Amino acid sequence: MDTKSLLKKVRKIEIKTKRLSTNVFGGEYHSAFKGRGMTFSEVRKYQYGDDVRAIDWNVTARSNEPHIKVFEEERELTLMLVVDVSASGKFATHEAFKRDIIAEIAATLAFSATQNNDKVGLVLFSSKIELYIPPKKGRSHVLRIIRELIEFKPEEKTTDIGNALKFLSDVLKKRSIAFVLSDFVDDEYKNKIQIAAQKHDITGIRIYDRRETELPNVGLIKVTDNETGKQKWVNTSSKKVRENYARYFKARDDYFNKTFKRSGAGCFSTRVDENYVTKLLTYFKTRA
């Protein structure tokens, strides 16, 4: 992708996702993810309706007027976007690849965090850690993250979610909010999510295509595994083949949901052609 096309695409995603984060997710994000606690701000005169438990008795005694202590939320947080860039993300039977939707959701989350003055970092992974951008603040930093989400070319094609979760636990010493965005074409991450979820506030977002849930009856077709490159012929006319295919998707979906929930982490799935805005908003509200 040439520089002009890249900048145009970055700008398009910025306009769309920044509008969403401003008009839709700003307050919901703030409510869903709390700061580290309350910190002292100031002492002021008591006003009708104030909590009497907040009265500062020392200042009240010196001034002969009731004063209260005012506290405010210690807001600053760190948001980590842990994004799958393996080859399975380049699959689509609709107008967008799974990877395109992942980039949009990640950008929306990044701008929501920026509006709350939180730091944002990025981990791109396949079967290895492809790129790590340490958490920072600011629009230019978020735009760099969006550029990487759009343009980055991974060295490996396969997926290792457990390795990405281990890296997250190792590289960040303080508790962070982490969103793992992937199609979760992997089933060996249970132990790693249990460890990572003890340290960080983790949410898994699974993005999938409708053709991954069921095969159409279109006869004999050749299919290719994007991650391994292996090809084989599949007889979609066979009811048993179609049932096994649907059963495989259901098993992987169950593994994803059960693994995250049993670890105390949040999770939800969204199909490429569904409205991820509604899914994300509903998730924020359930957490608030």
In the chain, % helix, strand, coil (3-state, to 5) comes to 45, 25, 30
Question: What tokens were used for 52?
Answer: 């009497």
CA distance 85 to 147: 13
Task: Show the CA angle centred on residue 3, arms to residues 16 and 144, nearest 5°.
Answer: 55
Q: Residue ranges of the alpha helices (H) in 86-130?
A: 98-115
Query: b/e for 151-183, b at 16 or more Cβ within 10 A?
Result: eeebeebbbbbbbbbbbbbeebeeebbbbbbbb
Q: What's the rounded mean pLDDT across residues 41-53?
A: 81
CA distance 181 to 159: 12
Helix, strand, or coil here: 2?
Answer: coil
pLDDT of 17 reads 73
- The string of pLDDT tens digits covering residues 277-287 is 889 888 988 88
- The string of pLDDT tens digits covering residues 150-196 is 899 999 999 999 999 999 999 998 889 999 999 998 888 999 999 99
Reported in sequence order, the residue ranges of 140-255 that DSSP labels E, i.e. its strands, are: 177-182, 201-208, 220-224, 231-235
pLDDT of 12 reads 74
Question: Closest Cα partner for 212 from 86, 97, 125?
Answer: 97
Q: Is 244 exposed, middle or buried (0-12, 13-18, 19+ CB in 10 A)?
A: exposed
Question: What tokens were used for 284?
Answer: 């924020």
Least confident range from 19-28, 75-84, 163-172, 243-252: namely: 19-28
Contact in structure between 107 and 14 (CB atoms under 8 Å): yes
- The string of pLDDT tens digits covering residues 130-152 is 999 999 998 889 999 999 998 99
Residues of the chain with CATH 3.40.50.410: 3-32+76-287
CA distance 147 to 141: 10
CB neighbourhood size of 23 (10 A):
9
Question: The domain 3-32+76-287: what is its CATH number?
Answer: 3.40.50.410
